[in-house]
Chains A and B, each alone.
Chain A
């Protein structure tokens, strides 16, 4: 599951939330007065991200889980055991630095001038002083990196997310996200500048690095979830729905999952 930042955050937060959701006498008396309160169907505005190909998606999801179990996860485990955190942070830093050109173009298209300039400065500083992105010097100097992609750019122009689907190996996506991913690939200068092999190494590192980062969470999600497919679908759509675009006219519909 490449795009799993949301799950990571949810799980990390749950650790903390436990500070409030503590356990114990398993079936102690509960205060049921809340049942008399209004159900509040309108507390979130749900976006219309449908899952019309659920059966097919569940098939691909099951396939991904098998690939993950036997290939991706073992590699990610080995990667995080062999390479210490400091080394993984450097990988993260180099990979992020390489995404700068695509980020820059997207920020410009979104009308986010400040973000675009920050990205350009970050790229210049980190590529030179930061030794090719090896160290995130810019962040230490207070220039924090933000992420974006072409799907977010489209969202800013009120393009609907389309329907939900699961991509083989790559995991959860929507029509707009898949299209955006392709456009980002076409816009990425490294795909033309670097050798094919170098690009494959880069992509491979990206997938393994992300999977390694998600290790503690996917295990917990698997343990807590009653329907892993539905959990991934909901968290994915939510994590893609919180984007805000101050520079661009807000779309009237807020995106939240079904």
Chain B
């Protein structure tokens, strides 16, 4: 009888910590990562104690560590990536990363208390995941789904590489758009256009 009790307790304990023994990146960890990222971001935006400048700096750091802009720059170039030399690739990666960061600031400042919830997710491979979230407007209750694709590297670090809003993927759209620009005017022209958008966004922000 005593043994039975121990078994039951062991069973309960193992149910409570089913993942602790598993060191590999898990879906639960990926979901927790996105959940924390969303919560941290919203908390930072709402933080009245931080100056606007300090807020920007903090969010910038968060962006740098959580979004894999270098890989995204490679993906959005598609087949044109292969024909570029190392210097062009690095130049494009840096410019594209800056572009992503500066162009969306004005949107971000329009945050009006939308609620953010992780609603599910699935493993795409042993280190790739797609996590679904639901964004609900506080004003009219309208909601939409945003999925994040993320990858876990060898150092157990998750980084986002695509954002899919209601089935529309950011990097897929940009790949298509950039292919059109490059085939008509070349890569250097695209980089120039990105830089001019960055300068414009920086000067108005």
0 or 1 for each of B3-39: is its CB under 8 Å from A? (1 = yes): 0000000000000000000000000000000000110
Q: Say yes or no for A24: interface residue by CB 8 A criterion.
A: yes
| CB pair A234 B71 closer than 8 Å | no
Name the one of B66, B165, B176 contacting A13, with C-beta atoms under 8 angstroms: B165
Report the Cα distance A94→B197, complex, angstroms: 42
| CB pair A30 B97 closer than 8 Å | yes
| CB pair B70 A227 closer than 8 Å | no
Interface contacts beyond A23-B104, A231-B176: sample of 10 additional A-B pairs, CB < 8 Å, sorted by A:
A10-B165, A10-B168, A13-B135, A13-B144, A22-B60, A24-B56, A37-B74, A40-B71, A226-B177, A230-B181
| CB pair A6 B168 closer than 8 Å | yes
Report the Cα distance A239→B165, complex, angstroms: 10
Report the Cα distance A21→B201, complex, angstroms: 14
CB contact under 8 A between A15 and B111, given known A30-B93, A229-B180, A234-B176 = yes
Q: Say yes or no for B72: interface residue by CB 8 A criterion.
A: yes
- For residue B175, which residue of chain A has the nearest CB? A234
Name the one of A14, A34, A238 contacting B72, with C-beta atoms under 8 angstroms: A34
Return chain A residues, CB-CB under 8 Å to B37.
Answer: 20
Report the Cα distance A184→B85, complex, angstroms: 51
Give the distance to chain B from A216, nearest Cβ to Cβ, in Å.
Answer: 10
| CB pair A35 B93 closer than 8 Å | yes
Report the Cα distance A7→B75, complex, angstroms: 21
| CB pair B177 A225 closer than 8 Å | yes
- For residue A258, which residue of chain B has the nearest CB? B176
CB contact under 8 A between A227 and B114, given known A10-B166, A26-B198 = no
Interface size on B, residues (CB 8 A): 77
- For residue B66, which residue of chain A has the nearest CB? A20
| CB pair A20 B167 closer than 8 Å | no
0 or 1 for each of A1-17: is its CB under 8 Å from B? (1 = yes): 00001110110111111
Return chain B residues, CB-CB under 8 Å to A242.
Answer: 166-167
| CB pair B93 A32 closer than 8 Å | yes
| CB pair B104 A25 closer than 8 Å | no
Name the one of B63, B70, B101, B104 contacting A14, with C-beta atoms under 8 angstroms: B104
Return chain B residues, CB-CB under 8 Å to A224.
Answer: 103, 197
Interface residues of B in 149-175 (CB under 8 A from A): 149, 151, 159-163, 165-170, 172-173
- For residue B41, which residue of chain A has the nearest CB? A19
Q: Say yes or no for B119: interface residue by CB 8 A criterion.
A: no
Interface residues of A in 209-258 (CB under 8 A from B): 220, 224-227, 229-231, 233-235, 238-239, 241-242, 256-258
0 or 1 for each of B54-75: is its CB under 8 Å from A? (1 = yes): 0011011011111111111111
| CB pair B181 A226 closer than 8 Å | yes
A-B contact pairs, 20 of them (CB 8 A): A12-B135, A16-B111, A18-B104, A18-B108, A20-B41, A21-B100, A21-B101, A26-B101, A32-B93, A34-B71, A34-B72, A34-B73, A35-B74, A35-B89, A37-B68, A37-B71, A37-B151, A43-B75, A227-B180, A239-B168
Return chain B residues, CB-CB under 8 Å to A34.
Answer: 68-74, 93, 159, 161
- For residue B198, which residue of chain A has the nearest CB? A26
Name the one of A7, A26, A230, A256 contacting B98, with C-beta atoms under 8 angstroms: A26
Give the distance to chain A from B6, nearest Cβ to Cβ, in Å.
Answer: 45
Give the distance to chain B from A210, nearest Cβ to Cβ, in Å.
Answer: 15
- For residue B200, which residue of chain A has the nearest CB? A223
Q: Say yes or no for B118: interface residue by CB 8 A criterion.
A: no
